[in-house]
Structure 1
Amino acid sequence: ITYVGEDDSRFFCHLHGRKFNVLNTRYMLPSDEEEVRRSELHHRMLQFLFNGNNYVGPVKDVLSGTAREASGGAPERRRVLDLGTGGGFWAIDIADEFPEAEVIGVDLAPIQPREVPENCTFELCDLDQWHLPYPNEHFDIVHARFMHTGIEHYPRFLHEIARMLRPGGLVVLIEPDTEPIADG
């Protein structure tokens, strides 16, 4: 669902002095300003690790390629889906870098900025549900990172990504290794 509004209180509850989303109680991180700041720091750290880039892999090749023709013969806009967008930093940066692409960021909570590039929108959705509300073969790129704690059925999540991805599209998943490592 798309949500833009000033009163977003119905999407949150308060617990131990922090604000949490109410759409998916499995997701354990807060949805408040402190978490948005942490999320931005995390995003900027990844940019540093990627040598100033917002992505790894052939994202630029996919988004800079020749636009495919829609059924009527007109060029069709490239589409990017950012799953678990959080504060929306990756989606906004990609929208700025590729203004000809349509970028949609999806999250459980409306914590993204209200002023964003024209080609960037944010929507609310519980990504752990079966059948996400997007058409088959709709996106050129699907991006998700650090979703492992918020997705109960990860294989189903991957199936949904594959369903929404256009043939020849790109999936960019960044997840931590959850196996503990001990030295010695």
Structure 2
Amino acid sequence: MITLLVILGIVVVLIAMAVGYKNKFVVLDNSVKNAWSQIDVQLENRFNLIPNFVETVKGYAKHEKETFDGIARARSNFKNATTPEAKMEANNQLSGFLGRLFAVSEAYPELKANTSFENLQNQLVELENKIRFARQFYNDTVTEYNQNIQMFPASIFAGIFNYRLAELFKADDIARVTPQVRF
């Protein structure tokens, strides 16, 4: 009888642990999804602002076709992306081309004096700051999630419930390259 009570006690404890960990994983997973949606909203705003910015610059820097085409490709890739990873990649591509575009604008004083350009540039800078903050929050949330599903004994339950590591938002090689302006 005591053996049966001990076994029953162990089963109850394991079930309670499983329920506790499952609930914790759900909360953490939802936090990661929420953090990603904050980035997604800001990236969408950024990608929607880009065509106006590009059109303003095109009038002054007609020879920057490669940059304009790259921005259009990155925007298209973002619109067609179905996963956070694909959207991160499109964002990184756009960041590289925007860096070039900002560098090009430095060579055109009359463009920098254009109020439409200045307004669009200020909006982009503000969005970039929001995106940076959202990325930091997302990476902090993902780190907490990943740590929780990797630590013992939570890792056992994470495997049972099929929770996998989430990917951090990282800059890629394009975003790390310093833009070069050639005339």
TM-score by length of 1: 0.23
Greater per-residue strand proportion: 1
- Which of structures 1 and 2 has the larger relative contact order (alpha carbons within 8 angstroms, sep 6+)? 2
Greater per-residue helix proportion: 2
Higher-Rg structure is 2
